Amino acid sequence: MTTERENASDLVVIGGGAAGMTAASRARRLRPNWRITVFERGDYVSFILCGLPYFVDDVIASHESLIVYTPEFFEKERRIEVRTGHEVRRIDPQQLLEVADLRTGRTFAHEYRKLVVATGAEAVRPKLDGIGLGNVFVLRSIDDGRRIKATLQGGGLRHAVIIGAGYVGLEMADALTIAGLQTVLIEATASILPASEPEIAEVVERELAEHGVQVRKEEMVQRLEGNRRVERAVTSRGEYPADIVIVSVGVRPAVGVLQQAGIALGPTTAVATNERMETNLPGVYAAGDVAEAHHLVTGKAAWVPLGTTANKQGRVAGENAAGGNAVFPGIVGTAAVKVFALEVARTGLTEAQAREAGFDPVVATIEHLSHAGYYPGATTLRVKLVADRPSGRLMGGQIVGREAAAKRIDVLAAALHARMDVEALVALDLSYAPPFATAWEAVQIAAQQVMGRLGRSDDP
Amino acid sequence: MTTERENASDLVVIGGGAAGMTAASRARRLRPNWRITVFERGDYVSFILCGLPYFVDDVIASHESLIVYTPEFFEKERRIEVRTGHEVRRIDPQQLLEVADLRTGRTFAHEYRKLVVATGAEAVRPKLDGIGLGNVFVLRSIDDGRRIKATLQGGGLRHAVIIGAGYVGLEMADALTIAGLQTVLIEATASILPASEPEIAEVVERELAEHGVQVRKEEMVQRLEGNRRVERAVTSRGEYPADIVIVSVGVRPAVGVLQQAGIALGPTTAVATNERMETNLPGVYAAGDVAEAHHLVTGKAAWVPLGTTANKQGRVAGENAAGGNAVFPGIVGTAAVKVFALEVARTGLTEAQAREAGFDPVVATIEHLSHAGYYPGATTLRVKLVADRPSGRLMGGQIVGREAAAKRIDVLAAALHARMDVEALVALDLSYAPPFATAWEAVQIAAQQVMGRLGRSDDP
């Protein structure tokens, strides 16, 4: 491999994000005497990528707010060796890594006894003419965020184009509008938030329009044009002036070095694991955005890269790597995003996903107040529920609104974990007080409608 | 009985509140041709008692906002005969009622085939010298609310005394302070919100003090004094000037006429029912504040009179009275209240209740942010969780805070319905986005601490 060979670590973690640092910390708790080393390619560890849009629009002043703990903290408080600027180039299943120090160019070998791979996900950069121009960015790292923010603060920008209307695209539409830019959001498919129910996406699209974001659907960006810096985006339907372009067409698991080592990927192209977060290689665990998870509704592998799951998987991988016996039962696909004043939340399967997964879905979409109508400030929540026709079991739900929509989804997430049917949902003893809720919660009104459509009963 | 005898109703409902009107409406859906009659003693039906504090302090201008539907609506739209100002004086199990028209004094007999008793609860009025003085009120009806509001609007009031620091007492402390009165809240026990965890009540007490409410605990009101109108409250420890007194020492089920008929009460002194809401008398159902419910955590009968439960029980009673086959599985004791800017929410058992019920409770109390610390506006949530030591099963939880505390309790309520243990709670896939939540929700941090105390694992 290489000439220089370092002493073995009991545990090596590749990747210093949420999953990796949680795994390292957890292992330290159980194994006070182990040598634990983290290799991180970038300059930061323990960073919070989901806060980046708020750093860009200056809601958060310093990027340091997005770093939970510094490498020094981990070294001193947890005796974890954190080596930033180090890239693992090769994984030899015979417990050896080839590592490059990106600052010096030096490569060396490092032995491990247990390994947690937490390499995360990387932004997809489509092959597009002009994608290498100045002021064309993805947003996937602290450094990406710093570059975008510096560009905005340089001033003189008027027009922004965002390619891709997923979560990051929407958050950046919000952020760039607040930063004062005329923003166009271009989505190749027929719907913004492609994983959302159309009845929910429609409300979000209205919110974007009301804040001056121009939404273009079923439109493909064909090339970016400019002179060193980007000046315009040319699409299948027209062209848009662009002083800055954000490319947010998705992420993919960072599996390059893992595949070469023979670590098996699952059907989603992320790393396959069992519920102990073990990969196919003995002593090698995977966690976080690079790993699949068991979807508790479909019973199949899914890839939903989110910080919440990264924390949970990292905890389990770290505990098991240290000789423990923890399990990560799986996910139900819960997520939330803020778009201007709207909270948009989802859990479980959409109607379309339920059909694809082989279920016969029955659905209801309702609007209901966020709290008692006679108490000031009540706003409309829109809820869509999806249930399985033969069993009545809840398959998924989405909520959009201006008051606690994000936290309201959690009761549906818990219902999915518990495999409740819509009748059980109607029977739940949920909290009520006029300033916060209605006596029947919106999700229960929706569940009653589903019951009606199942011929079980109907609304009261 | 009496001379005049009216034709039979297929269904009679006694009491026109949430439970009664829901039962009548539900029965109408299933039985388009039945004669359905509701006897209500007061002037209103379908009223919302929990909105009364907000009517008193003029957040809600008109009492009409607290009436969901008028008698005319029920008559015209649902062909339900609604007879307000009618009191049922006697129930003959041989399907006959003795009814008094309170406006004319006339009494008559009315036959029923099925009966739903939904007589609600009534305010406890302690035997206290001076309780009959002017400006001494309970708050349990629309008329009570109108009287208090008229008194406040009459002007000249400076000092208020509230006796009893339960939900209504706290809401009235909030309302009267906002109405500009110097308010003293007097509680006989050692804690405000006697059904709350002390760690939660402590935060509420601080909120009251910060808004100028004087809280007096372990203090008994001995008499009220004044000259026609109340002028002061004399307690075991002193005396307080009082231009108005609110007596909020609790409610009890309105079972007078029911007991005489031989309808069996349960251990809580509310009406005992099975999960079909059937009483011991054939064809006689009970629902709402007059009825017990099965507590899903203790497995025993409980009496927690709340509008949410009234709606659910009314629906089941109405459906079964009409020949259907619905069940009300039970409650977990979820409730919420606003106290100035605080949301105070509970579900399940407190530590003390768990111990009383024969469990060996293990608890954790934690403070955690309501959303990501780097995103503006994050506030502190305090959470207390109670679990059963041998099984780790969740027994209850309470949350107090300024951001979505009320709706955050719902995930714990769902967990109680599903009999989840703390490990399952930690594994829940809950929603996260920096403006709304933290990657580990506060309830999950608390559940991790409980796990640590159970020796199962500990915080990450």
Contacts of A51 in chain B (CB under 8 A): 372, 374-375, 434
pLDDT for A7 equals 85
Reported as a pLDDT band with limits 50, 70 and 90, residue B180 is very high
pLDDT for B456 equals 77
Class (C level, CATH) for B125-249: alpha beta
* C-beta of residue B104 within 8 angstroms of C-beta of residue B87: no
Inter-chain residue contact B411 with A410, CB threshold 8 Å: yes
pLDDT per residue as tens digits for the range B83-135:
999 999 999 989 999 999 999 999 999 999 999 999 999 999 999 999 999 99
pLDDT per residue as tens digits for the range B200-247:
999 999 999 999 999 999 999 999 999 999 999 999 999 999 999 999
pLDDT for B457 equals 66
Residue A417, token pair as written in the block? 């974990």
Question: Active site residue: B8, B30, B50, B133, which one?
Answer: B50
3-state helix, strand, coil in chain A (%, to 5): 30, 30, 40
Reported as a pLDDT band with limits 50, 70 and 90, residue B6 is confident
* pTM to 2 decimal places: 0.96
Cα–Cα dist A42/B380, whole Å: 33
Contacts of B308 in chain A (CB under 8 A): 429-430, 432, 439-440
pLDDT per residue as tens digits for the range A42-82:
999 999 999 999 999 999 999 999 999 999 999 999 999 99
Neighbour-count burial of B273, counting CB atoms closer than 10 A to its CB (0-12 exposed, 13-18 middle, 19+ buried): buried
Cα–Cα dist B159/A360, whole Å: 63
pLDDT for B455 equals 87
pLDDT per residue as tens digits for the range B339-398:
999 999 999 999 999 999 999 999 999 999 999 999 999 999 999 999 999 999 999 999
Nearest 5°: CA angle at B319, between B317 and B323?
Answer: 110
Is residue B459 over pLDDT 80? Answer: no
The residues, ordered by sequence, that sit 6+ positions from A405 with a Cβ below 8 Å of its Cβ are A336, A342, A343, A344, A345, A370, A381, A399
pLDDT for A6 equals 87
**What's chain A's average pLDDT?**
96
Inter-chain residue contact A418 with B413, CB threshold 8 Å: no
DSSP reduced 3-state for B220: coil
Reported as a pLDDT band with limits 50, 70 and 90, residue A455 is confident
Reported as a pLDDT band with limits 50, 70 and 90, residue B191 is very high
Class (C level, CATH) for B5-46+65-121+252-321: alpha beta
pLDDT for B7 equals 85
Higher pLDDT, B7 or B402: B402
pLDDT for A456 equals 77
Chain centroid to CA A114? 27
Cα–Cα dist A79/A4, whole Å: 24
Is residue A346 over pLDDT 80? Answer: yes
How does B327-341 read in b/e, with b if 16+ C-beta sit within 10 Å?
Answer: ebbbbbbbbbbbbbe
The CATH H-level (homologous superfamily) assignment of domain A341-453 is: FAD/NAD-linked reductase, C-terminal dimerisation domain (3.30.390.30)
- Does CATH place domain A5-121+252-321 in 3.50.50.60? yes
Neighbour-count burial of A107, counting CB atoms closer than 10 A to its CB (0-12 exposed, 13-18 middle, 19+ buried): middle
Reported as a pLDDT band with limits 50, 70 and 90, residue B458 is low
Inter-chain residue contact A418 with B420, CB threshold 8 Å: yes
DSSP reduced 3-state for B317: helix
Inter-chain residue contact B315 with A439, CB threshold 8 Å: no
Share of chain A above pLDDT 70, in %: 98
Cα–Cα dist A280/A262, whole Å: 8
Domain ranges in chain B are: 5-46+65-121+252-321, 125-249, 341-453
The residues, ordered by sequence, that sit 6+ positions from B192 with a Cβ below 8 Å of its Cβ are B165, B169, B170, B185, B201, B204, B205, B208, B215, B217
Is residue B3 over pLDDT 80? Answer: no
Cα–Cα dist B416/B396, whole Å: 7
pLDDT for A328 equals 97
The residue of chain A with its CA nearest to that of B376 is A59
Contacts of B48 in chain A (CB under 8 A): 372, 374, 434
How does B46-85 read in b/e, with b if 16+ C-beta sit within 10 Å?
Answer: bbbbbbbbbbbbebbeebebbbebebebbeeebebebbbe
pLDDT for A4 equals 87
Is residue B300 over pLDDT 60? Answer: yes
Inter-chain residue contact A410 with B417, CB threshold 8 Å: no
Task: Select from A39, A41, A37, A28 the least CA-distant residue to A8.
Answer: A37
Contacts of B30 in chain A (CB under 8 A): none
Q: What is the least distance, in Å, from the CA of A163 to any CA of chain B?
A: 22
Nearest 5°: CA angle at A253, between A248 and A258?
Answer: 150
pLDDT for A1 equals 47
Q: Which of B306, B337, B428 sits opposite A414 (nearest CB)?
A: B428
Share of chain B above pLDDT 90, in %: 96
Nearest 5°: CA angle at A267, between A262 and A273?
Answer: 60
- A-B CB pairs within 8 A amount to 220
- Phi–psi pair at A411, nearest 5 degrees: -70, -35
Q: Which of A54, A307, A431 sits opposite B432 (nearest CB)?
A: A307
* C-beta of residue A405 within 8 angstroms of C-beta of residue A335: no
pLDDT per residue as tens digits for the range B434-455:
999 999 999 999 999 999 999 8
Average pLDDT on A325-329 reads 96
Q: Locate all alpha helices (DSSP H) within B277-348, ordered by sequence.
A: 307-321
Give the least confident one: B14-18, B193-197, B408-412: B193-197
pLDDT for A130 equals 97
Contacts of A308 in chain B (CB under 8 A): 429-430, 432, 439-440
pLDDT for B1 equals 47
Q: Does A341-453 match A5-121+252-321 at the fold level? A: no
pLDDT per residue as tens digits for the range B41-50:
999 999 999 9
Point out which residues pair with A40 in neighbouring strands: A84
Is residue B55 over pLDDT 80? Answer: yes
Q: Which residues of A are catalytic?
A: 50
Average pLDDT on B413-430 reads 97
Is residue A345 over pLDDT 80? Answer: yes
Inter-chain residue contact A440 with B308, CB threshold 8 Å: yes
pLDDT per residue as tens digits for the range A112-124:
999 999 999 999 9
Reported as a pLDDT band with limits 50, 70 and 90, residue A457 is low
